[in-house]
Amino acid sequence: MTDSHKDLHKGSHHYDCKGSSNIKSCQNHSVTPSVSIGKIFTKVPVVLAELDLQININETITFPEPVLEIKDIKKRVILTQCRLLLPTHKLFVKGFVRKNIQYASPCHEIEHSTHQSVASDLHSYTVDIPFDCVTEIKDFLSMPVMPKLNDRQEFDFAVSKSLPSGYPEKDQLLSSDLSQFHQESSQFYNELAYCELVSSKIIEWDEALDRLPLHGPASFYEGCFTKLEEKMVLDIRLKVLQDQQIRVASTTNDPC
């Protein structure tokens, strides 16, 4: 054993990490919650509809460098808008598919290509593929509470005034007072419907558009490209909800 190994072995005691645990077991018991008895009004999310949407996407992706082959693609569906436009039944959906593409790119700095080998680096490229669509909800599980309209009304008071010279003395000006303004207005703060993303499924087909053989000595089978056309079928399952007041009945708070 060399001196450096002896010193490392001697000094290893200073770096020992000894773990200890003070976590002890604790007991628990079930508690029956107290509930209000009778017919209770509450405000909860109500499912208006559950939908399966299918969106077709055709997009061209341009890479920043030549691509030898695609290694892997990871996808994530992100919604940026899901809005039920009341009092219509139209649902507006907007978002994008985040794609992280892992690919091999030829690298001559590692080794020049030969008829039997091609050296490459592994890189990744992230791109957002947008989509948007409008669909109509035809069958509601529960009907939405339609928005109440704001209202604004003006009213006036009658006034009578003497007329200036040139008019009969018995006549008077009968009208409303232009120096006053009276109004009654009401505003409602309606509950906005919202969405939850339940699941998504993507079927895609990616195909190179400008694949060319590699420069210099290389196998006839090898080539690289920079443009990729993808055809994608996106299936999305959504829940459309709205906070509503409902009445529930409770007859007892005894244990079940």
Task: Kindly report, residue by residue over 213-251, the tens digit of the pLDDT.
Answer: 887 776 676 788 999 999 999 999 999 999 999 999 888
- Of 110-114, 120-124, 228-232, which gets the smallest average pLDDT? 110-114
User: Has residue 8 got a pLDDT over 60?
Assistant: no
Domain range holding 142?
Answer: 35-250
Question: Does some domain include residue 1?
Answer: no
- Classify 6 as helix, strand or coil: helix
Q: What pLDDT does residue 91 have?
A: 96
Question: Does some domain include residue 22?
Answer: no
Contact between residue 227 and residue 208 where contact means Cβ atoms under 8 Å apart? yes
Question: Does some domain include residue 26?
Answer: no
Domain count, the chain: 1
Q: What pLDDT does residue 43 have?
A: 93
Question: Does some domain include residue 80?
Answer: yes
- Of 13-22, 33-42, 69-78, 129-138, which gets the smallest average pLDDT? 13-22
Q: What pLDDT does residue 118 have?
A: 79
Q: What is the DSSP letter of 7?
A: H
- Classify 5 as helix, strand or coil: helix
Q: What pLDDT does residue 184 have?
A: 87
Who's near 114: CB < 8 A, 6+ residues apart? 217, 218
**Amino acid symbol at 15:** Y
Residue of 153, 155, 150, 151 lying closest to 182 (CA atoms): 155
Q: Tell me the CA distances in angstroms from 113 to 68, 71, 104, 121, 213, one per residue in order.
A: 12, 20, 14, 13, 12
Q: Give 84's strand partners.
A: 91
Beta strand pairing call for 223-250 and 212-213: antiparallel
Instruction: Give me the mean pLDDT over the 113-142 stretch.
Output: 88
Question: Does some domain include residue 183?
Answer: yes
Residue of 153, 164, 143, 154 lying closest to 246 (CA atoms): 143
What are the strands of the beta sheet with 90-106, ordered from one edge?
Answer: 69-85, 90-106, 120-136
Question: Does some domain include residue 50?
Answer: yes
pLDDT band at 64 (very low <50, low <70, confident <90, very high): very high
Question: Does some domain include residue 194?
Answer: yes
- Classify 9 as helix, strand or coil: helix
pLDDT band at 15 (very low <50, low <70, confident <90, very high): low
Question: Does some domain include residue 240?
Answer: yes
Handedness of CA 157, 163, 167, 170 (dihedral sign): positive
What is the pTM (predicted TM-score) of this model? 0.73
User: Has residue 145 got a pLDDT over 70?
Assistant: yes
> HSE-up of 173 (CA within 13 Å, CB side)?
12
Distance CA 83, CA 44 (A): 19
User: Has residue 69 got a pLDDT over 80?
Assistant: yes
**Amino acid symbol at 62:** T
pLDDT band at 181 (very low <50, low <70, confident <90, very high): confident
